[in-house]
Amino acid sequence: MDGVRGMKVALIDSGGANIGSVRHALARLGADVVFTDDTETIRAAERVILPGVGAAAPAMAKLRAAGLIETIRTLERPLLGICLGMQLLFESSEEGDVDCLGLLPGRVTKLIESEGVRVPHMGWNRLQPIRPSVLLDGLPEGAQAYFVHSYAAPVGGDCVAACTHGMRFAAVVQRGRVAGAQFHPERSAAVGARILDNFLRAGVA
């Protein structure tokens, strides 16, 4: 934990709820967390996290109003999107038919509801590793995380772990300095804490 203690982490204000639990989860790991929509503060941070609970269109409108679209697109520090924050990393979302940040290729679509498959997807589900990633280091076989969402990103070339709820979707993604988790690490007990710790310690590259 020594390498994490005091690390400057910017938690971007994207207008969503549940920010307090994310902040506390990071603080428990030893990070120095600031909740902000200030460009200079975000650029000065060692790690940047884009959380999100809610809908894609209002979140993108909030980021645009705060002048943060280009700030996020041109960041040089490691960036982690959480839940809706991960969805915003992609090119577009079916939710509100909105253009997103475009840092990752693909379009976010609604989960398919069917007999025995409820939408939103709420609860614990197993992560299915696809390729090695620093984000997954140290996770046990059969690791589960806590999901709450109705939309999801495709399993593309940047997907390092998938999940299945009616359809298969991206649970963890990584491309260069950009990464995302569709689930809530702050609500995923030891598995979530390990992923956050991995991100803080090693970032992504």
Q: Which of 121, 149, 165, 184 is catalytic?
A: 184
How many Å is the Cα radius of gyration of the chain? 15
Q: Would you call 159 a catalytic residue per the annotation?
A: no
Residue 87, H or E segment: helix 84-87
**Bridge partners for 93 per DSSP:** 98, 108
Q: Would you call 24 a catalytic residue per the annotation?
A: no
Contact 100, 91 (CB under 8 A): yes
Q: Which of 83, 100, 159, 163 is catalytic?
A: 83
- In degrees and rounded to multiples of 5, residue 9 shows phi and psi of -120, 125
Please tell me the distance from the alpha carbon of residue 181 to that of residue 202, in angstroms, as a whole number. Answer: 16
Contact 120, 150 (CB under 8 A): yes
Q: Which of 100, 149, 159, 186 is catalytic?
A: 186
Active site residues: 83, 184, 186
